[in-house]
Amino acid sequence: MEKKIAVGLDIGTTKIVAVIGHANEHKKIEILGIGKAKSMGVNRGVVSNITQTIESIEEAVREAENHSGLKIRDVVVGIAGQHIRSTQHSDYINREDAESIIEDSDIDKIIGNVHNLVMMPGEEILHVLPQEYRVDSQGDVKDPRGMYGGRLEANFHIVVGQVSSIKNVGRCVKQSDLNVKGITLEPLASAEAVLSPEEKEAGVILVDIGGGTTDVAIFKDGIIRHTAVIPLGGKIITEDIKEGCEIIEKQAETLKVRFGSCWPGENSEKEIVSIPGLRGREPKEISLKTLSQIIHARMKEIIEAVFQEVRNYGFQESRKRLIAGIVLTGGGAQLKHLTQLFEYVTGMSSRIGYPSEHLAAGSEQESSSPQFATAVGLVMRGIADKDITRSMAITPEELEKEYEPEPVETPIVEEVQSPPEAIEETKEEEKVENKKQKGSFWEKWSKSFLSFLENDVE
């Protein structure tokens, strides 16, 4: 059986990453190629320059193709950015026949009601996540299918985004000669790569610290309960260092990565790093204690914003306890002593989330870094999506074969009258097939939105 190859495209504020991979016989992800490029046209997760974004996507894709020897044709793209927001909503339907069992059509109907809610101008409901159901007087139902009842109620977590922002991402990808085969919220992709089912069940906070934004996703009882996007990330820390130390941005980024720490107490005033002067000027000496104080101040602000989202979720309630604590991922999670600062501010246990648990043995060390968690999660989503049947990257030889015209033969058709029993069997098979084709509401929305992008770009 041919292995399905998936491609994840993570369009971030500071970098754009393309990852090619497939699942081996042990269901671990083998990374075939990685490409990354500096992101020039994205600001806080939102495309601000179409031309520059296209150039960055093409550079990342080209590097991944050279690394793997494959030609990328389709991608799974992540959605994020400061335009994403979430809200809670409750809805219900009264069923006509209380004596019949609840089916997928009933769940689709109540979710459809939520999708018809009126949002703010320019906004679109991206994701409707059922939290729990209530059938007549029976509450806390996780899956009501197969139950009897006249009134079906549900609580939902709704994710909303700006249509124009998502269309701009789709346009950039399509103008880079790529097909968008899937759209996934980036916090969900990161969670796929770094969280275990046990953590999601116990209650966990995923904090993905990117360049322009920090994504927060809270899981409890295996269900995503709360999402938020904080418009602060690693780039603003670099800007703080640049202004506080009066140096250029490239030097500030190097200082942050090589010497940066979230804990000022570990550095003494005597620890100094020398920065080369510009155009023959004298070198500039910077105290590591001053550097860590700048990082600590901004990072503490980000942590407090994250913890406010946790409070908004209501984690103090006994049934909403988050036993597994906090999992940090993304490029910003690599700052020294970050877990200690999170634990100090929030009082919750913290760890760094690496995608290495899902990667095959022998994978490149680079691919197991937290900064690639979202891209690896997008690959995992692409492999798991049953609607995506063809490989997203193929060899140049296979690509040439696809365009070779095949000889067309005119088949001889003979009409045969099927017996009534065969007709009945065919109808039953169609029913089963239709049932198999029922996907999640997110998959259905994703298909309709991809179709919308196709028409818009054409």
Burial of 182 (0-12, 13-18, 19+ CB in 10 A): buried
Taking only the tens place, the pLDDT of each residue in 362-371 is 777 778 899 9
Residue 357: pLDDT band with limits 50, 70, 90: confident
pLDDT of the residue at 307: 96
**Rounded-to-integer distance, Cα 189 and Cα 372, Å:** 11
Strands, E assignment, 60-203: 71-72, 74-79, 85-94, 123-135, 138-141, 151-162, 179-185
Q: Which of 339, 441, 457, 386 is nearest to 108 (CA)?
A: 441
For the segment 380-399, the average pLDDT, to the nearest whole number, is 77
For the segment 172-191, the average pLDDT, to the nearest whole number, is 90
Provide the domain count of the chain: 1
Question: Which CATH number goes with the domain that contains 134?
Answer: 3.30.1490.110
Taking only the tens place, the pLDDT of each residue in 87-114 is 889 999 999 998 999 999 999 999 999 9
Taking only the tens place, the pLDDT of each residue in 256-276 is 999 999 998 888 888 899 988
Which value, to the nearest 10 degrees, does the dihedral of the CA atoms of residues 373, 374, 375, 380 take? 90
| Residue 26 falls inside a structural domain | no
| Residue 139 falls inside a structural domain | yes
Which DSSP string corresponds to 174-242?
HTTT-EEEEEEEHHHHHHHHH--HHHHHH-EEEEEE-SS-EEEEEEETTEEEEEEEES--HHHHHHHHH
Rounded to an integer, what is the distance from CA 227 to the centroid of its chain?
12
| Residue 266 falls inside a structural domain | no
Rama region for 127: left / alpha / beta (φ>0; ψ in -120 to 50; rest) = beta
Structure-model confidence comparison of residues 320 and 421, the more confident one: 320
| Residue 120 falls inside a structural domain | yes
Does the pLDDT of residue 435 top 50, yes or no? no
| Residue 181 falls inside a structural domain | no
Element (H, E) at 37: strand 29-38
| Residue 225 falls inside a structural domain | no
**Rounded-to-integer distance, Cα 448 and Cα 444, Å:** 6
**Rounded-to-integer distance, Cα 367 and Cα 374, Å:** 11
Does the pLDDT of residue 250 top 80, yes or no? yes
Contact (CB, 8 A) for 238 and 256? yes
| Residue 336 falls inside a structural domain | no
Range of the domain at 130: 85-162
Residue 338: pLDDT band with limits 50, 70, 90: very high
| Residue 102 falls inside a structural domain | yes
